[in-house]
Amino acid sequence: MSGSIQDTFFEECEELLEAMDEGLTAVEGGDHDPEVVNAIFRAVHSIKGGAGAFGLDELVAFAHRFETVFDEVRNNKVELDTKLIQLLLRCSDHLSDLVAVARDGGTTDEEHHDALIAGLEEYMDDEEEDLTFEPMGLGGPSVPLPLAAEEEKTYEIRFRPLKEMFGTGNEPFFLFQALSELGPLKVVLDESELPGFDAMAMDDSYLAWNLTLTSTEPKSSIEAVFEFVEGLCELSIASDKDAEEEEAALAALNAAFGVSGDDSVTDPPAPFDAPAPAVTAPEASPQPVEKASSAKAESTKSEQRGPKPTLRVDLERVDRLINAVGELIINHSMLAQQIANLDVADLRDVETELEGFKNLARDIQEGVMSIRAQPVKPLFQRMARIVREASSATNKVAKLVTEGENTEVDKTVIERLSDPLTHILRNAVDHGIEKPDDREAIGKSRTGEIRLSASHRSGSVCIEIKDDGAGVNRPRVKQIAIEKGLIPENAELSDSEIDNLLFLPGFSTAKEVSNLSGRGVGMDVVKNAVTALGGRINISSNPGKGSTFTIILPLTLAVMDGMVVSVADQTMVVPITSIVETMRGSDDMINSLGADGTLLSIRGNFVPICDVASALGLRNPNSDQPPGVYLLVETETGQKSALAVDDIHDQRQVVIKSLDGVCGNIPGVAAATILGDGKIAMILDPENILAASTSSATFDTERRMSNAIAS
């Protein structure tokens, strides 16, 4: 039980951290709107609140300091200067670390933690930190306050939990225990609403309590006890003093201080809050002086006007739905095929209906797919942190500019993009961006800029990482490749081929091993990760101006556009993304090269031919049967090859079925799909086929790369 609530807390934390990051980024961009600051404050505060409920002390302590500084900012007592913003950004990173540690275990960097706390404390008002109250220093003139705070008062509290409160795991007992710490407490149970056994609903709440507390504490302390069950219970707190009299006093106070309901629940610094036990339930109160609840009330308000209501759904359920819809599509094509085979004179009506069915199925499919699609925004926000950390580790100044954050991509793609993006960005900071002084010397701004953008491009997602650094040092890259024996010494490579050498396994150009890179993890890992997602990555570089990495990814991992072909009597599917052109070949287009190499001449160009059937071991390579159709494919390096197949049937959308767990890794085959006739067809991986094919005269590095992927 508590486990699942804790999960919910951490899920919420994710959202809150995102909101906080978003706010901080806005602040960093110069947006000092109080609403933005409030939003960050609320986010931190909610994290603290939740963490407190689970006894995550370290998290609470840090969040508390963090939020206190924000409170100062809200009250315009601290200037939001660059130094503070940097500190706050680092603190927000650390806060996410702390949350991660609380969730997954592990440890945080003590030194870093302490340094940040020390940094935050500089901005803090000592008194507020100690939670002692301080009549001065709140900006208001000294007003004769009723000295009620020191007086022992009797509070009448009526507490009636709603059933939702029990749903969140709160226990009245612990609340009462907390109250009794404030002073002598008398608890009377009110079971008057309790129905007979027959009318009782198992999960409803019927009990209420009347509590009498004698305490010197201000009312806000009592409200603080009920902070976490706000909105989950009916609560009224009344002191023994006449309520009306109190309200009059309050009005006077408000006039004196100006209505500024801005101190928080947990930092009750204001003595003028103490004599304000207005007899109201927190939610019901229109009074701006209901300060204790102000933070929560604001967050409720913000939820209401927040973006759009959303639904939290188990990912597995969505996946089941996606699978079922995939079946529906397959079923439709099977049905269509069966009907077409029927020997009936007039099929028009049936075909019209079938067409309608197909459209509906497609609609449902798109709808379901869009559930899995998520904006890349959270991913990009995390990347801002990577750049911050990387630049501070390398003593460089770099900022991340993001574009197209609302581009939606399949959730799995987003998850698996995190690592490659991190790697590319670290590399961009470490190798791409020059040192600030060097930049200045060549007339660039001291701050390097890395632009991370996402956009939809004809059925795929394009993610671009562009830096304004030095660009690829081509002579050096080539030199290293030769030294490491990756390319022959006399290799003549085009600029783009040299750039793409970076993706070779075990390639690193850093002169010295820095904290960030040079750990033996090269760009080949990035390439593998992208390839595993069915995507492609490319680099283009402009010496002195910077480099651009382009990642092209499929929109979804569940469906794919494919060309249905036949190879050695088997039906197979080739991803449309990798096909440049298709053509029917004739004998005079085929030229032999060497013992077993064949080239296809296309408009004066010669490209190597790879027979798919023999590459897959389905036909003897030396058989004379000339394949009829060629699919021209282009690899990432721009190298073209012609895949020879027997025939092309159709171009259609296919549902991808993973072969993982069915049989191990099959060279040349990416996955499987189910065709209209219910048969399974293999989805081919052209790159891998080219690599496996011995007759292919493909560029050698390409083969190395693909071998690395295959192994």
- Asked if 617 interacts with other proteins (CB under 8 A), we say yes
- Asked if 680 interacts with other proteins (CB under 8 A), we say yes
Provide the residue count of the chain.
711
**CB closer to other proteins out of 576 and 659:** 659
The residue within the footprint of other proteins, chosen from 120, 616, 645, 648 (CB under 8 A), is 616
Cα–Cα distance between 491 and 501 in angstroms, integer? 12
Closest CA to 267 of 96, 70, 120, 114: 70
- Asked if 664 interacts with other proteins (CB under 8 A), we say yes
The residue within the footprint of other proteins, chosen from 76, 665, 694, 700 (CB under 8 A), is 665
Binding residues for other proteins, total number by CB under 8 A: 27
User: For residue 147, with 0-12 CB atoms within 10 Å meaning exposed, 13-18 middle and 19 or more buried, which class applies?
Assistant: exposed
Radius of gyration of the chain (CA): 33
CB of 709 to other proteins, least distance (A): 15
Tokens encoding 551: 């990642």
The residue within the footprint of other proteins, chosen from 666, 708, 709, 710 (CB under 8 A), is 666
Question: Which residues, numbered 545-584, are part of the site for other proteins (CB under 8 A)?
Answer: 570-571
- Asked if 682 interacts with other proteins (CB under 8 A), we say yes
**With CB under 8 A as the contact rule, which of the stretches 116-124, 155-163, 321-329, 636-644 interacts with other proteins?**
321-329
Contacts of 235 (CB under 8 A, 6+ apart): 157, 158, 159, 160, 226, 229, 281, 282
The residue within the footprint of other proteins, chosen from 330, 516, 559, 683 (CB under 8 A), is 330
Give the 3-state secondary structure of residue 451: strand
- Asked if 668 interacts with other proteins (CB under 8 A), we say yes
CB of 309 to other proteins, least distance (A): 34
> What burial letters (b/e) apply to 521-553, b meaning 16+ CB within 10 Å?
ebbbbbbbbbbebbbbbbbbbeeeebbbbebbb
**CB closer to other proteins out of 271 and 627:** 627
The contact mask relative to other proteins for 269-308 (x = CB under 8 A, - = no) is: ----------------------------------------
| DSSP-assigned beta bridge partners for residue 582 | 631
CB of 663 to other proteins, least distance (A): 5
Strand ranges in 240-310 using DSSP code E only, listed in sequence order: none
- Asked if 650 interacts with other proteins (CB under 8 A), we say no
Beta strand pairing status for 669-674 and 680-684?
Answer: antiparallel
CB of 650 to other proteins, least distance (A): 17
Cβ proximity of 236 and 157 under 8 Å = yes
Tokens encoding 341: 């085979």
- Provide, for the chain, the percentages of residues in helix, strand and coil under a 3-state DSSP scheme, each rounded to the nearest 5: 45, 20, 35
Cβ proximity of 672 and 472 under 8 Å = no
End-to-end CA distance of the chain: 44
The residue within the footprint of other proteins, chosen from 26, 576, 583, 669 (CB under 8 A), is 669
- Asked if 618 interacts with other proteins (CB under 8 A), we say yes
**CB closer to other proteins out of 538 and 688:** 688
- Asked if 326 interacts with other proteins (CB under 8 A), we say yes
- Asked if 667 interacts with other proteins (CB under 8 A), we say yes
**CB closer to other proteins out of 6 and 323:** 323
**With CB under 8 A as the contact rule, which of the stretches 158-166, 454-462, 643-651, 672-680 interacts with other proteins?**
672-680
User: For residue 706, with 0-12 CB atoms within 10 Å meaning exposed, 13-18 middle and 19 or more buried, which class applies?
Assistant: buried
Element (H, E) at 118: helix 110-122
**CB closer to other proteins out of 542 and 665:** 665
**CB closer to other proteins out of 422 and 688:** 688
**With CB under 8 A as the contact rule, which of the stretches 276-284, 368-376, 670-678, 698-706 interacts with other proteins?**
670-678
- Asked if 621 interacts with other proteins (CB under 8 A), we say no
Cα 147-150-151 angle, rounded to 5 deg: 90
**Beta carbons within 10 angstroms of residue 109's beta carbon:** 11
CB of 711 to other proteins, least distance (A): 11
The residue within the footprint of other proteins, chosen from 85, 482, 659, 708 (CB under 8 A), is 659
- Asked if 679 interacts with other proteins (CB under 8 A), we say yes
Give the 3-state secondary structure of residue 507: coil
Element (H, E) at 85: helix 82-104
Distances in whole angstroms, Cα of residue 399 to Cα of each of 340, 436, 513? 60, 12, 23
Distances in whole angstroms, Cα of residue 158 to Cα of each of 190, 207, 414? 10, 11, 49
Cα–Cα distance between 301 and 317 in angstroms, integer? 31
- Asked if 678 interacts with other proteins (CB under 8 A), we say yes
- Asked if 335 interacts with other proteins (CB under 8 A), we say no
Closest CA to 363 of 316, 325, 319: 325
**CB closer to other proteins out of 379 and 670:** 670
CB of 578 to other proteins, least distance (A): 18
- Asked if 532 interacts with other proteins (CB under 8 A), we say no
CB of 688 to other proteins, least distance (A): 11
- Asked if 471 interacts with other proteins (CB under 8 A), we say no
CB of 696 to other proteins, least distance (A): 16
Tokens encoding 95: 């806060």
Strand ranges in 404-447 using DSSP code E only, listed in sequence order: 408-410
**With CB under 8 A as the contact rule, which of the stretches 96-104, 224-232, 578-586, 658-666 interacts with other proteins?**
658-666
Element (H, E) at 525: helix 523-532
**CB closer to other proteins out of 295 and 674:** 674
| 388 DSSP 8-state letter | H
Cβ proximity of 583 and 644 under 8 Å = no
The contact mask relative to other proteins for 340-379 (x = CB under 8 A, - = no) is: ----------------------------------------
- Asked if 672 interacts with other proteins (CB under 8 A), we say yes
**With CB under 8 A as the contact rule, which of the stretches 62-70, 266-274, 594-602, 668-676 interacts with other proteins?**
668-676
**CB closer to other proteins out of 18 and 319:** 319
- Asked if 320 interacts with other proteins (CB under 8 A), we say no
The residue within the footprint of other proteins, chosen from 353, 662, 694, 700 (CB under 8 A), is 662
- Asked if 594 interacts with other proteins (CB under 8 A), we say no
**With CB under 8 A as the contact rule, which of the stretches 171-179, 242-250, 262-270, 661-669 interacts with other proteins?**
661-669
- Asked if 691 interacts with other proteins (CB under 8 A), we say no
CB of 571 to other proteins, least distance (A): 8
**With CB under 8 A as the contact rule, which of the stretches 79-87, 165-173, 474-482, 664-672 interacts with other proteins?**
664-672
The residue within the footprint of other proteins, chosen from 175, 533, 629, 681 (CB under 8 A), is 681
Phi, psi of 456 (to 5 degrees): -90, 135
Distances in whole angstroms, Cα of residue 268 to Cα of each of 69, 130, 210, 261, 273? 15, 10, 25, 12, 8
Cβ proximity of 531 and 615 under 8 Å = no
| DSSP-assigned beta bridge partners for residue 680 | 674
- Asked if 154 interacts with other proteins (CB under 8 A), we say no
Strand ranges in 458-544 using DSSP code E only, listed in sequence order: 460-467, 536-542
> Which residues of this protein are in contact with other proteins, per CB under 8 A?
323, 326-327, 330, 570-571, 616-618, 657, 659, 661-669, 672, 674, 678-682
